Structure 1
């Protein structure tokens, strides 16, 4: 497709692989179904090509080695024109993190898909210490990971959505209460970021704009929020790690095969920031 002299790819098939963010956690619920940024990106793509077929192989709780072992093969069999590969954060936040091994898995996935003729898009991670102060010590891992992702993408012609470059990506109003998953606004913004990075017609840079200013909570309110978060989300997460359990145990992909897309993309400005 040619627009104003710029050649734009119009994708006929898209496969998303990854973990809970790509599955779409906290953009909807288990009863009604999760949407998420990958579904929303498929909506952007389908608005340009109504014949788009889309599969989402992501499963919550998966570490990058599991994503590699369980999702890359099926994705390659589908021979998609576009794939998104987003994984690694579940490894980064766990004890025993092996950075080179994580990057090795990602390089193999991105490289294999690229070699098969698939356009690949991925992302860098924002500063987790701003989102979860208790996780500030993990920021060196994030920064190293992001640098490696950029190098892998450069070697393979992949697109990178650089969430670490924009303050809006650490605004708590785009994150769910657990601070590990985006909320509906966050998923909407990230989908717009991928659409812009892939130069999907109609996309723009609006997703990078900061949200309107808001009142900073008092110290007692902030401390109370941290205590609530620790009890409601941190403690159960630690308990699962101790038991060797994962939120993805027994779960399968929500869209295991390529199928038509009917949903249309949400306007970035359509939903106000959560308080």
Structure 2
């Protein structure tokens, strides 16, 4: 956690997590932790605060750098979130050297401009879906890359691997990859705490009661359902080479004033 600062403009770049997938607002649109965090920041300061979100689902880190990063810098933020990498490591043959270079350049260039940069790393994915244990080593390598880039450049880091709450299945959507509304809510609170905003000291407190654990037959059925509903379509898109993020536009491409809600 850092000392409290006043921010003028926040820009978020990244993939589906930052876009807000599986956290739906009252109109069925994606909300997400970045939207929620912007509201927390606006509520914590008297000065006007603007927010833009350029994130696009499915993008790899080099695509985020190529299509979002310069656009984000051109908006002249003083607060910038840069997240991504899971799409790289769950795909075939991730290029870890390129991942490290992309994070180093993005974090470092922004920091050199006096922008406060923040990011996060994933918890152990073993609990998330049937393939989680196979992705574990790759996610751990990604986490180490992001940690090193943050340490080298002074970017703020939320390390979800250090918090038991992050592996509570009640925070995750049924697709086994994205947070649900509660997960996005907790992420926003965690980042607010990281930025030094009062009132979020207890974001990582355990949820009431233990999560429900399915019995063996239920788990087999749930795993099969997951494979049909989520893994199969994802694999199919990859096999026919559907462009990453095809047809999706940034939900908030220009900075807009965030109204204070409380």
TM category, shorter: over 0.9
SS in 1 for 2:71: helix
Q: Which runs of 5+ in 2 are unaligned?
A: none
Confirm whether residue 14 of structure 1 aligns to residue 10 of structure 2.
Answer: yes
**How far off is 1:216 after superposition?**
2.1
SS in 2 for 1:133: coil
SS in 2 for 1:207: coil
SS in 2 for 1:34: coil
- Structure-to-structure mapping, 1:45-124, within 5 angstroms: 45-49=41-45, 51-124=48-121
SS in 2 for 1:208: coil
TM-score, normalised to structure 2's length?
Answer: 0.94
TM-score, normalised to structure 1's length?
Answer: 0.89
Q: Which runs of 5+ in 1 are unaligned?
A: 1-5, 266-275
Q: Choose which of 156, 173, 176 in structure 1 pairs with 2:173.
A: 176
**How far off is 1:195 after superposition?**
0.7
Taking the aligned partners of 1:96 and 1:89, their CA distance within structure 2 comes to 13
Confirm whether residue 26 of structure 1 aligns to residue 22 of structure 2.
Answer: yes
RMSD of equivalent CA atoms: 1.8
Q: 1:30 to 1:202 in 2, by over 3 A?
A: closer
Where does residue 164 of structure 2 map in the other structure?
167
Number of equivalenced pairs = 259
Taking the aligned partners of 2:245 and 2:259, their CA distance within structure 1 comes to 27
Taking the aligned partners of 1:246 and 1:150, their CA distance within structure 2 comes to 29
**How far off is 1:209 after superposition?**
2.0
Taking the aligned partners of 1:70 and 1:18, their CA distance within structure 2 comes to 10
Where does residue 234 of structure 1 map in the other structure?
231
Confirm whether residue 188 of structure 1 aligns to residue 154 of structure 2.
Answer: no
> Is 1:79–1:116's contact at 8 Å kept on the other side of the alignment?
no
Confirm whether residue 42 of structure 1 aligns to residue 38 of structure 2.
Answer: yes
Task: Please identify, of 36-45 and 255-264, the stretch whose mean Cα deviation from structure 2 is larger.
Answer: 255-264
Taking the aligned partners of 1:185 and 1:264, their CA distance within structure 2 comes to 19
Taking the aligned partners of 1:147 and 1:214, their CA distance within structure 2 comes to 29
